[in-house]
A and B are shown apart, each in its own frame.
Chain A
Amino acid sequence: MADLRDIYQEVILEHAKSPRNYRAIETQSKAEGYNPLCGDRCTVYVAMDGDKIQDVTFQGSGCAISRASASMMTQSMKGKTASEAEELFQSFHRMVTGQENNGEHKDMGRLEAFAGVSEFPARVKCATLAWHTLEAALHGDQKPVTTE
């Protein structure tokens, strides 16, 4: 049976309360994300340095899962290329949707705190909102992203 501590881990609660990189930056690469189911919104800003991500920040309103996920995502992205970022998103997505083989997933460091989300299918969209939005920012999509 799913346990609440699987989803509301200390590190998640801590990031939800004090999200990192919670600010806007001047950049052409930004995108808006929206989860119509629960009203969560976020804007993700990306600053590139050549082909590497120099900085990722976000702003918005949402539940603990979406805030923590956005916060920890911004930390994990610095220094990555767009394709490395995409790869990390795919791994993260497989983890929170429970699609790994035998529960094995490649080492994702602190992001593994979100593995428990797979036990709560209604919350997967909360955990992935910022990631979808980052992807849109990297691709330069103008239309707001929705999780529906």
Chain B
Amino acid sequence: MSAPVATPHREDQAVAGIGFDVEKVRADFPVLHERVHGRQLVYLDNAATSQKPNAVIDAIVHYYRHDNANIHRGVHLLSQRATEDYERARSLVQSFIHAREAREIIFVRGATEGINLVVQTYGRQHIGAGDEVLITAMEHHSNIVPWQILCEEKGAKLRIAPINEQGELRIDELEKLIGPRTKIVSISHVSNALGTINPVKQIVRMAHAHNARVLVDGAQAAPHMAVDVQDLDCDFYAFSGHKMYGPTGIGVLYGKAALLEEMPPYQGGGDMISSVTFEKTIYNKIPHKFEAGTPDIAGVIGLGAAITYMNGLGIEAIGAHEHDLLTYATEKIGAIPGLQLIGTAKEKAGVLSFVMEGIHPHDIGTILDQEGIAVRTGHHCAQPIMELFGIPATARASFAAYNTTEEIDALASGIERVKEILG
């Protein structure tokens, strides 16, 4: 534990991310001007979901007001406009994650559905009795439970790569767990509960050396860092729109075209077929084979607007700003006596999980809420991590492009208030 010395507010830290005008960014997000319990909202629950800029809200409203029609089927003008906007968003996603082709981008409800899609198609096709799926000890429930269901059904084995006390993957142990029976390695790019950034590229190389496929849960990475699926060479990459300034209910599964083409469909219905008779159905080409039924068109258009918005700020600039916030917060919050940070990996994204001596995270959350500060408290859908650290839950502050050092100061004062009331 660091010495109990209050960190002075330094000017050079206050201007985190030079050239990044955080006040201008804040002006783009109407909800940041809400008052809660009579106080200015301090929104630090971005790993759960981020707020939405006007550009996204307006794009969704514009679609419903001016262009609403179903896609891929109408000859009329509105249907053409909606189809163009929908497919333009697919291209935006393609560039955003540097996929080779737009048809490698499948729209799903979120990272969870993306993972389930791979489990139920590629997984069911390729994993049999005695085979192994390797995940890590820091996975979100969404990257544990779908594999458990499959492994139980197939008589396959779920193996878990361990992490160290800092919350870093033990890469040497992980490598030992990849063997001839390993069919899939499924790992988070960034841990939602700990903030750890995993060395995905290295893990992909290890897995490919054993002909195992790699699925990356990028829900916590895509909002914060440049993602290049070709450079990572991962086979699948899943993420959610709502954590990266887009709407809820929309997400992306990237898959290498050659794999997607070989995979059976996930759901049957309209749009995923090229012809149907009662004797035989011929499936549509990718990506449409995996997009049965009318999709969340407004959601896709909103996600496209979110990517355009992020491109405008610059993903590197967003990441650098958040990293400055994390450094400032780690120093300031980490120095509070009786407070322990959970997850202190060298490579971290903007997540600060902590526990306080003798005070339950749920009480921390209630008191901070009364101060206008929104943090997440609980197990963060990562109960195995909590068990590993021997704690029932943590309080978690997580940062986005619009957060400021003043908000971290407010968090620090809020924590003092917690100690005042419950200490």
On A, residues with C-beta under 8 Å from B are 1-2, 4, 7-8, 13, 37-41, 61-65, 120, 122-123, 126
Contact = CB atoms under 8 A, between A and B. Distances in A.
Contacts of A2: 37, 370
Contacts of A1: 37-38
Interface residues of B, number: 19
Nearest to A40: B392
Contacts of A41: 392
Nearest to A61: B392
Interface in B347-387: 359-363, 366-367, 370, 377-379, 383, 386
A95 to B, nearest CB: 18
Interface string B29-60: 00000000110000000000000000000000
Contacts, number: 53
Contact of A62 (B38, B360, B370): B360
B378 A39 contact: yes
23 contacts: A1-B38, A2-B370, A4-B367, A8-B421, A13-B421, A13-B422, A38-B362, A38-B378, A38-B379, A38-B392, A38-B393, A39-B392, A39-B393, A40-B362, A61-B392, A62-B360, A62-B392, A63-B362, A64-B359, A64-B360, A122-B366, A123-B366, A126-B362
B392 A4 contact: no
Nearest to A126: B362
Interface of B: 37-38, 359-363, 366-367, 370, 377-379, 383, 386, 392-393, 421-422
Contacts of B379: 38-39
A8 B422 contact: yes
A4 B370 contact: yes
B371 to A, nearest CB: 9
Contacts of B378: 37-39
Nearest to B417: A4
Nearest to A17: B358
B251 to A, nearest CB: 24
A62 B392 CA distance: 8
B367 to A, nearest CB: 6
A65 B392 contact: no
B355 to A, nearest CB: 12
Nearest to B359: A64
Nearest 4 CB-CB pairs, A to B? A39-B392, A63-B360, A63-B362, A39-B393
B38, B359, B370: most-surrounded residue (chain A CB, <10 A): B370
A1 B370 CA distance: 10
Contacts of A39: 378-379, 383, 386, 392-393
